[in-house]
Structure 1
Amino acid sequence: MEYLIFALTVLAFIVLIMFKGLLDDRKRRADFIVWLRNNYGVLPKREEIKQEEFQRISCYFRRHEAEEFHVDDITWNDLNMDSVFKKMNYAYSAAGEEYLYYLLRTPAQDTDRIERMEKHIRFFMEHEEERIKFQVFFAKLGRTGKHSIYDYLNYLDLLGARSNWKHYLGDLGIVLSILIMFFSVPAGVVLLIFFICRNIIAYFKIKNEIEPYITSFGYILRLLRSVDDIIRLSSEGFEEEMEELKACRKKMSRFKSGSYIIMSSARMSASGNPIEVLLDYVRMTFHLDLIKFNNMLVEVRKNITAIDRMLTISGYMEATIAVGAYRTSLGEAYCLPELNDYEGLYIENMYHPLIDNPVKNSISTKRGVLLTGSNASGKSTFLKTVSLNAILAQTIHTCLADSYSGSPYRIMSSMALRDDLSGGESYYIVEIKSLKRILNQAAPSGSRQAQADLPSAHCVNGNKVLCFVDEVLRGTNTVERIAASAQILKSLARENVICFAATHDIELTHLLENDYSNYHFEEEIKGDDIEFNYRLMDGRATTRNAIKLLRVMGYDEEIIQNAENLAEEFIVKGVWKAHV
């Protein structure tokens, strides 16, 4: 009787723990729904994304980057797009944030994709209850830790061919040992202990090898459960996606069947559930999860395309929710761009998302633009603001401006370059290589440049190019810099190409005045202070304040006076003369 009471007490305790866990899960879900409803447009609370984490976030893009034109690494880094991504990462799942990253790196080259995506963005912005249901499911899907699901899918072949016959033999040995005990208990016990120990030792050896893949299989299972939930929801405009999800889900039915053996929810969360602890010993002894793993591996290898499509569709859906949330965070400070056959670029009152209290500027041009002005006057920021808004227009169909009009462009830049110490290349070599990739992309149809092998640029004849260059060829001497820069920029002043370039060489504004429109930024020196208004002005820069800035920064007056004398003499005579 006492044993029965003890057993019932333990059972009641286990049931109580499970019931409390259920109640806690429901409360967390209810609190999460309230938070989603009251904080639309507020970034989810999470740890700061570290630079190494972008290796995971970029995995979906890296797997699909060859499919269409994309923002290359040089341009992405020039524009500090990792930080821009962080500002709009409203995704709760790895699939969502990886697709959002992919979206930002693949500017649309036609309007069909943009128009369809806009309908989906608007749907979630206008239907709160549907949006929240989707977000709850994506939150359940969650992230994958420090590795992407694609890290594992890309390396499935490393597991090699796997067979269950060794596991079956180990299980057969245990069964035979038990049968022998009916004839000889000592012999049966010895054999039983031997096979159990042998199985447990082999279990941990194999388990360590496949553990990372078990984690990835767990994510695939959560993906399948999310798909099960999603396809039951009403989602206007997603009919095609829903049908494809159903078809992919059907292909993976055998993968999910019996998956509890290897990945119960309690086990994957390391809950310490007593039943799971008991089942762990059963798994170690009979290798049930290893056998199931091999069966699941067969299904994954057979259906990688279906898994990829489910990740793509669910990731795309959450990315459209994230774009809507980002728009909401901007209030009225954004516009929907017009992407058409406009031969040029028109942006009114644009600003940069990473600058607090930014100064807004406008530009309207049908040809290249040359920017002049002193350091820190705003040239580089202007180039980044224009290029960033062009990328956002063609990716998330959202511009940080009052209005935007332009064609779909292939967008490239050459700005924040540096010496390649690991490759042993000087700044100048790095720079001319960076410029060459833009020239190849902008080359006319049929030219040798257009046919060059460009793995990072995907050169396709006849595409429109929008490019940005900050300080052309700054890594070489003045005479050769001006001569070469003039010819490079002139070669970019052609049909279907708009080039924005910043320079300190006023000579270029005269050499290229028939090909480029001149604009400038200026500053005002007031006593011992300098003021920048960061306003774009028509025409070339006319002030020379570089030497005056030395005085503002406290340089010796003799240095300043001698520098002014040298400069004035060169302007008058055109020859530099050394002063002793």
Structure 2
Amino acid sequence: MEIYQKRQLLFNNQYNAIRSKYKLVGAIRLLVFLAIICFFYLALAKADTFYLYIVGGAVIAFLILLRIHVGYSWRMRYVQALKDVNRDELSFLEKDERPFEDGSEFKTTEHPYAFDLDIFGYKSLYQYLNRTATFIGKQKLADLLKGKLSANEILENQEAVKELSQKAEWRQEINAYSKLANLDDKSYQRLKKWSETEVLTISKFTRLLSYILPILLGVAIVLYFLLDIEVMGYVISSLFSINLIMTLSHIKYIQRELGGADKIHETIESCSAIIKRIEKESFVTEKMKSYISELNKDSFQASKELKELSRLFEQLETVANIFVMVVFNGFIQYHVHALYKFLDWKKEKGHLVPKSIEIIGEVEALNSLANFSYNNRYYTFPVISEEGKMSFTNLGHPLLNEKKRVCNDIDFSNQRFVILTGSNMSGKSTFLRTIGVNLVLAGIGAPICATKASFFPLPLFVSMRLTDSLEDSESYFYAEVKRLKMIIEQVREESCFVLLDEILRGTNSDDKQSGTIGVIHKLIRENTYGVIATHDLEVCETTNKFPDILINKCFEVEIKEDDLHFDYKIRDGVCQNKNATFIMRKMEIID
């Protein structure tokens, strides 16, 4: 937390210093502009060329000041972004606020575990982790949380996260640049579509004319002034008009490449800056080094090439400027030549755009995990077991406040399936989510809330929070049966980890009991790992038939001084205490 406080103070001071310079340059620029008007008036009023020389010098000074002013403006925005990064981190750590996007757009009830484990949405795991600022970064983080990685991919991610967690300043720079990039869904889709469209082919004759006609115009102008040939005036106006017509015939191609986007060059330039920071950084892990190799493939330096593309986009965007359009194109077909350079770049290096953006997104996602690791340095990276062992020591829910969090040990190495009992509010559902969320984290290469852990990657399936659907005329019971069917079919295909919370609630007690036992039999018949929570103590007798596979665990509650006391600690065996009747009596629902 201390580093965020120091850096917020640092950037606050930097911002104020830059802002002062920005205002000063702005004031000087205004004075120079007024001087230009004043001396131009004097030049006209007194017919004195001396004042015109002053005007010329003032115009040059104005342009230099404009460039400096724009530079300070960008620097202010960059430092402001760094201030925001540290402010948000402090709000998150000190006030338990969530000033980060929650990924609600990725929420779905169809996913095997995302809805049940609160992976997306308000105060979700995604919101807790998310430090991305571009659309592709958000998408890559969501894909990580919803997907499944191999053991090798998990190890690669773990090493990259460990390395990036030590690069706090670098990560914040990437985040700040990403905030300035404005690479939203629309911009991303537009650039992706642009890179995939066929490169326009311009005939060699048309290209040749675009050089010959401006040269002829230049020769005509020289002859007009040197030889004072009157007919050259008509030649000049004719060639000027032809150049304009040639440019106008290319306008539709320019507009096609621009695609109606506004200031796309700024987005490309920000991407170039991000890529440059990635290229310049020294990495030791294979995953991060592979990104640099990919960016510099085929002898291209992606950051340099993207900066060139940004400049070409900016040149094409000036087609909307009437002065540039008429004067520059009338004399030299400016936008025609800009288009040719643009098309040549696209043909040779167009593949760099989607590749670079994809890498930016992946680095943003890894930075999010690295930030999570940095903020929770006492968390552990689970060991991937080659012997098929899975155990967790002091396992807690990472989204719960550390002061309120209760941690437990759980081992699936001997008996791979747990029947969990406990009275109402004793912590069964929270414990299931604790296991599930930590398995998701472990499966993407992030550290988990435990002091020691070993696991091996398995597909995760959860049935905890199903809903009925009026739209599909689907009852809660039918939705639950459909989920259970999906799980049973999947465990037949491969070994899975399954979390079930009080299944078959939508039926009578006899059906529920026999159905639950039937589901357990089906699951353990295959090589399934997991936990099923139930209130039905009869179900626990199943462990007697399969002692090598099943084990009973429980959460207990104590009634002390006419009040309930929960310790939320898991124990061996079957729950002995009940509290539903006690609570109802205390609330005067029953006598």
TM-score, length basis structure 1: 0.70
**Deviation at 1:41?**
9.0
CA distance in 2, matches of 1:368, 1:338: 20
1:24–1:256 CA distance, 2 compared to 1 (3 A): closer
Amino acid corresponding to residue 146 of structure 2 in structure 1: R
Q: Does 1:372 align with 2:406?
A: no
1:335 and 2:380 aligned: yes
Report SS of the residue matched to 1:75.
coil
Tell me the amino acid that sits aligned with residue 115 of structure 1: L
Counterpart secondary structure, 2:500: strand
1:500 aligns with 2:531: yes
Aligned amino acid, residue 548 of structure 1:
F
SS of equivalent to 1:404: strand
Report the CA distance between 1:252 and its aligned residue. Answer: 7.0
**2:114 alignment partner in structure 1:** 76
Q: Give CA-to-partner distance per residue, 1:307-342, whole Å, 9 cap, x none.
A: 55444444444444433322221242x112121134
Compared CA separation, residues 156 and 553, structure 1 to 2 (3 A): farther
Structure 2 CA distance for aligned equivalents of residues 149 and 36 of structure 1: 23
Task: Give 1:476 shift.
Answer: 2.5
Alpha-carbon distance change, 245 to 481 in structure 1, aligned in 2, over 3 angstroms: same
| Cα distance change on mapping 1:235 and 1:487 into 2, 3 Å | same
The 1-side partners of 2:465 and 2:328 are apart by 55
Within the alignment, does 1:245 sit opposite 2:295 as a pair?
Answer: yes
Contact kept, 8 Å, 2:396 with 2:434, in 1: the verdict is yes
Structure-2 separation of matches of 1:47 and 1:207: 37
Q: How does 1:16-415 map to 2 (within 5 A)?
A: 16-23=65-72, 25-26=74-75, 48-49=100-101, 51=103, 54=106, 73-82=111-120, 83-91=124-132, 94-110=135-151, 112-126=152-166, 128=167, 132-133=169-170, 135-137=172-174, 139-142=176-179, 143-147=181-185, 151-152=189-190, 155=193, 209-211=259-261, 215=264, 219=267, 222-238=270-286, 239-247=289-297, 250=300, 256=306, 259-260=309-310, 262-264=312-314, 279=324, 303=351, 307-332=353-378, 334-356=379-401, 357-365=404-412, 366-415=415-464
- Superimposed CA distance per residue, residues 270-290 of structure 1 (whole angstroms, 9 cap, x where no aligned partner): xxx9x9896577799975577
1:566-577 equivalence runs, <5 A? none
SS of residue matched to 1:392:
helix
Q: 1:510 aligns with which of 523, 541, 544?
A: 541
* Cα deviation 1:522-563 (Å, max 9, x = unaligned): 3345577544332223222233322332222332xxxx24xx
Instruction: Give the share of equivalent positions with the same residue, in percent.
Output: 24
Q: Which runs of 5+ in 2 are unaligned?
A: 1-48, 221-230
Q: Which has the larger radius of gyration?
A: 2
Partner amino acid for 2:142? Y
Q: CA deviation at 1:518?
A: 1.7
Partner Cα distance (1:524, 1:227) in 2: 58
Cα–Cα, structure 1 residues 511 and 281, in superposed 2: closer, same or farther, change >3 Å? farther
Q: Counterpart of 1:550 in structure 2: which amino acid?
A: M
Give the aligned residue type for 1:538: D
Task: Name the residue aligned to 2:224.
Answer: none
Question: Matches of 1:4 and 1:52 in 2, distance apart?
Answer: 62
User: What TM-score do the two structures reach when normalised by structure 2?
Assistant: 0.69
SS at match of 1:534: strand
Q: Deviations over 1:90-143 (max 9, x none)?
A: 345555554333333334332x333333333333344x4xx6346535643545
From the superposition, tell whether residues 251 and 440 of structure 1 become closer, same or farther in structure 2 (CA, over 3 Å): farther
Report whether the alignment pairs 1:542 with 2:583.
no
Q: CA deviation at 1:371?
A: 1.7
Judged with a 3 Å threshold, the aligned counterparts in structure 2 of structure 1 residues 426 and 101 are, in CA distance, closer, same or farther, namely same
- Stretch moving more, 37-46 or 25-34: 37-46
User: Would the alpha carbon gap of residues 434 and 198 (structure 1) be closer, same or farther in structure 2, given more than 3 Å must change?
Assistant: same
Q: Give the SS at the match of 1:519.
A: strand
Distance 2:528 2:571 in 1: 23
Using a 3 Å threshold, how does the CA distance of structure 1 residues 38 and 236 change in structure 2: closer, same or farther? farther
Aligned to 2:507: 476
Report the AA paired with residue 475 of structure 1.
G
SS of 2:545's equivalent? coil
Contact 1:335–1:400, Cα closer than 8 Å, also in 2: yes
The aligned residue for residue 416 of structure 1 is: 465
1:150, distance to aligned residue in structure 2 (A):
5.5
User: What is the match of residue 482 of structure 2?
Assistant: 433
Q: Distance in 2 between matches of 1:475 and 1:509?
A: 20
Name the counterpart of 2:555: 521
Q: Distance in 1 between matches of 2:325 and 2:376?
A: 50
Alpha-carbon distance between aligned partners in 2 of 1:88 and 1:284, rounded to the nearest angstrom: 51
- After superposition, the Cα gap between the structure-2 partners of 1:342 and 1:252, relative to the gap in structure 1 and judged at 3 Å, is closer
Structure 2 Cα separation of the partners of residues 210 and 295 of structure 1: 21
Task: Give structure 1 stretches of 5+ with no counterpart.
Answer: 59-70, 444-449, 451-460, 562-580
**1:373 partner amino acid:** G
How many matched pairs?
A: 508
Q: Secondary structure at the match of 2:101?
A: coil
In the superposition, relative to structure 1, how do residues 207 and 34 fare at CA in structure 2: closer, same or farther (>3 Å)? closer
